[in-house]
Amino acid sequence: MTEDEAIDAIVTTLYEPGTIIMKLRDNQGLDRAELEHIRTAILFLIDVYRTRHVIPKRLSLAFVDIRTLMLSAHALYDEAEQDEIEDAVEELVEFAYRLFGADTET
């Protein structure tokens, strides 16, 4: 995976039409394959950006308000699915903190 491929994977899965968020809102459930693809891309970029001070705006835009967007369809699902969605959201938020070099202890 290259840096551009990882960014494209994240942006197209989180930010563009047909995304994991839209699927949740359309009551299609959590797309586990897309979630795994995002995980792989984010972990790759965490390593790539570990020593950089600049991250592409396009990438950061994909993470804006991700918690609210993903949880907006929360009530459409049963308790087990809600728990799975919440876990996925928290993992992505934690990854975002790591990616952007933020201290998660604050």
Euclidean distance between CA atoms 41 and 2, whole angstroms: 9
Distances (CA, A) of 25 to 16, 21, 28, 39: 14, 6, 7, 21
Higher pLDDT, 80 or 72: 80
Band the pLDDT of 82: cuts 50, 70, 90. very high
pLDDT digits (tens, 9 = 90+) for 50-66: 888 888 998 988 888 88
Instruction: Answer yes or no: is pLDDT of 103 > 60.
Output: no
Euclidean distance between CA atoms 13 and 69, whole angstroms: 13
Report the amino acid identity of residue 73. A
Coil, strand, or helix at residue 21? helix
Distances (CA, A) of 62 to 15, 57, 77, 82, 83: 5, 9, 24, 22, 23
| Residue range 18-28: mean pLDDT, rounded | 87
Instruction: Answer yes or no: is pLDDT of 105 > 60.
Output: no
Higher pLDDT, 106 or 102: 102
Q: What is the pTM of this model?
A: 0.82
Higher pLDDT, 104 or 70: 70
Q: What percent of the chain has pLDDT over 90?
A: 57
